[in-house]
Structure 1
Amino acid sequence: MKNRFAAASLLLALSTANYAQDVSSSSRENAKVKNVVNVSETKFLPLSDVKAGMRGTARTVFSGSESEEFEVEILGVMPGFIGPKHPAIIGRLSGKNAERTGVFAGMSGSPVFIDGKLVGAISFSFPFSKEPIAGITPIETMIEIFERKNVIKTQTEPRAVSFAQLTALDLQPTLPKQPIASSPFMAAIAPDSPLVKLLGQQFAPIATPLVFSGMNQETLNQFSTQLIANGVLPVSSVGGSAELKSLKKSTDKTLLPGDSVTVALARGDYSLAAAGTVTYRDGDKIYAFGHPFLNLGVTEMPMLESSVVIVIPNANNSFKLSVPGDMVGTLGQDRSTGIYGELGKTPKMIPVKINVKTSNNAAQIYDFEIVKDPFLTPLLLNMTVFNSITATERAIGDSTIVISGKINVKNAPPILLERKISASNAPVFAASSVATPTSLLLSSGFENIELSGIEINVTSTDTKNEATLQSLTIDKTQVKAGETFEMSASIRNDSGKSSVQKIPITLPKETAAGTYLVYIGDGNSLNQVSATRSFVPKNVSDLVNIINQVKKSDRLYAQVSRVSNGAVIGTSEMPNLPPSMLATLNNERTVGGVTPTILSPIYEQVIAPSESVITGQQVLTIEVIR
Structure 2
Amino acid sequence: MFARILGLTVTAAAVTAPAAVAADPIVPLAQIHRGMECTARTVVQGTEITTFGVEVIDVLDDVNGSGPRILVRVSGDAVAGSGIASGFSGSPVYCAGADGAVGNAGAVSATIGQYGNDVGLVTPIEQMLGLPAKPPSGAKRAPRAVRASVRPLTAPLTVAGLSPALGRLLERSGRARGRALVAAPVGPLGSFAPQELVPGAAMGAAYSTGAVAASAIGTVTYRDGNVVYGFGHQFDAAGRRSLVLQDAYVFTVVGHPFDLPSMTSYKLAAPGHALGTVTNDAAAAVVGAVGERAPTIPVVVNVRDEDRGRTVRQRTEVADEVDVGDPLGHGLLPAIAPIAVAQAVTTAFEGAPARESGRLCLRVTLRESRAPLRFCNRYVVNASDTEGVPGLALAMANDVTSALAAVDATDFKALHVTGVQADVRIARGLRLATIRSVKGPRTVRRGGKARLTLRVREVRGPLRTVRLTVRIPRDAPLGRQTLNLAGRTLDAVDGGETITIMIGGEDDTASSGGAQSLREVRARFLATARYDGLRARIGKARWRAGAVAELRIDGRGALPVRVTR
**Taking structure 1 as the reference length, what is the TM-score of the superposition?**
0.62
Distance 1:52 1:126, change over 3 A: same
- The Cα offsets for residues 69-105 of structure 1, whole Å up to 9 and x where unpaired, read as 5323134527343xx4545443211234334541123
Q: 2:89 aligns with which of 89, 105, 108?
A: 108
1:42-191 matches, within 5 Å, as 42=26, 44-45=28-29, 52-63=34-45, 64-68=47-51, 70-77=53-60, 79-81=62-64, 84-86=65-67, 88-114=69-95, 115=97, 116=102, 118-127=104-113, 129-130=115-116, 132-144=118-130
Q: 1:302 aligns with which of 241, 244, 255?
A: 244
Matched, 1:539 2:507: no
Secondary structure of residue in 1 paired with 2:402: helix
Q: Decide whether the 8 Å contact of 2:302 with 2:422 is kept in 1.
A: yes
1:155-234 matches, within 5 Å, as 202-208=149-155, 211-228=158-175, 229-234=178-183
Structure 1 counterpart of 2:210: 268
Structure 2 counterpart of 1:372: 320
Distance 1:324 1:493, change over 3 A: closer
1:407-486 matches, within 5 Å, as 407-412=364-369, 413-423=371-381, 424=383, 425-445=391-411, 447-467=413-433
Distance 1:40 1:300, change over 3 A: same
Shift of 1:107: 0.7
Measured in 2, the distance between the counterparts of 1:325 and 1:372 equals: 19
Per mean C-alpha deviation after superposition, the further-off stretch among 429-438 and 315-324 is 315-324
Letter in 2 for 1:538: Q
Distance 1:500 1:512, change over 3 A: closer
Shift of 1:133: 1.0
Structure 2 counterpart of 1:386: 342
Shift of 1:549: 5.8
Structure 2 counterpart of 1:361: 309
Shift of 1:460: 1.4
Shift of 1:459: 1.6
Q: Decide whether the 8 Å contact of 1:407 with 1:417 is kept in 2.
A: no
Calculate the aligned-residue CA RMSD, in Å.
4.7
Measured in 2, the distance between the counterparts of 1:240 and 1:38 equals: 33
Q: Decide whether the 8 Å contact of 1:467 with 1:612 is kept in 2.
A: yes
1:470-549 matches, within 5 Å, as 494-495=459-460, 504-507=470-473, 537-548=515-526
Measured in 2, the distance between the counterparts of 1:614 and 1:484 equals: 20
Measured in 2, the distance between the counterparts of 1:561 and 1:416 equals: 35
Secondary structure of residue in 1 paired with 2:62: strand
1:226-375 matches, within 5 Å, as 226-228=173-175, 229-237=178-186, 239=188, 254-308=196-250, 310-311=252-253, 313=255, 315=257, 318-322=265-269, 324-358=271-305, 359-372=307-320, 374=330
Structure 2 counterpart of 1:612: 551
Shift of 1:222: 1.6
Measured in 1, the distance between the counterparts of 2:190 and 2:154 equals: 20
Letter in 2 for 1:338: A
Measured in 2, the distance between the counterparts of 1:220 and 1:606 equals: 42
Distance 1:487 1:285, change over 3 A: same
Q: 2:360 aligns with which of 390, 395, 403?
A: 403
What percent identity do the matched residue pairs reach?
Answer: 22
Shift of 1:124: 1.6
Letter in 1 for 2:180: G
Q: Decide whether the 8 Å contact of 1:121 with 1:139 is kept in 2.
A: yes
Shift of 1:260: 1.8
Measured in 1, the distance between the counterparts of 2:341 and 2:288 equals: 29
Measured in 1, the distance between the counterparts of 2:536 and 2:127 equals: 63
Measured in 1, the distance between the counterparts of 2:206 and 2:109 equals: 20
Shift of 1:233: 3.3
Distance 1:69 1:93, change over 3 A: closer
User: Where does structure 1 lack aligned partners over 5 or more consecutive residues?
Assistant: 3-36, 146-197, 526-533, 563-600
Shift of 1:448: 3.5
Measured in 1, the distance between the counterparts of 2:33 and 2:436 equals: 78
Q: Decide whether the 8 Å contact of 1:484 with 1:507 is kept in 2.
A: no
Distance 1:615 1:42, change over 3 A: farther
Measured in 2, the distance between the counterparts of 1:357 and 1:281 equals: 46
Q: Decide whether the 8 Å contact of 1:240 with 1:323 is kept in 2.
A: no
Secondary structure of residue in 2 paired with 1:129: coil
Measured in 2, the distance between the counterparts of 1:376 and 1:90 equals: 36
User: Where does structure 2 lack aligned partners over 5 or more consecutive residues?
Assistant: 3-20, 132-144, 259-263, 322-329, 384-390, 491-511
Measured in 1, the distance between the counterparts of 2:432 and 2:232 equals: 53
Distance 1:142 1:450, change over 3 A: same
Shift of 1:382: 2.3
Distance 1:615 1:139, change over 3 A: farther
- The Cα offsets for residues 401-432 of structure 1, whole Å up to 9 and x where unpaired, read as 22124122222232214111111222211222
Shift of 1:458: 1.9
Measured in 2, the distance between the counterparts of 1:395 and 1:311 equals: 31
Q: Decide whether the 8 Å contact of 1:213 with 1:239 is kept in 2.
A: no
Q: Decide whether the 8 Å contact of 1:227 with 1:234 is kept in 2.
A: no
Secondary structure of residue in 2 paired with 1:208: coil
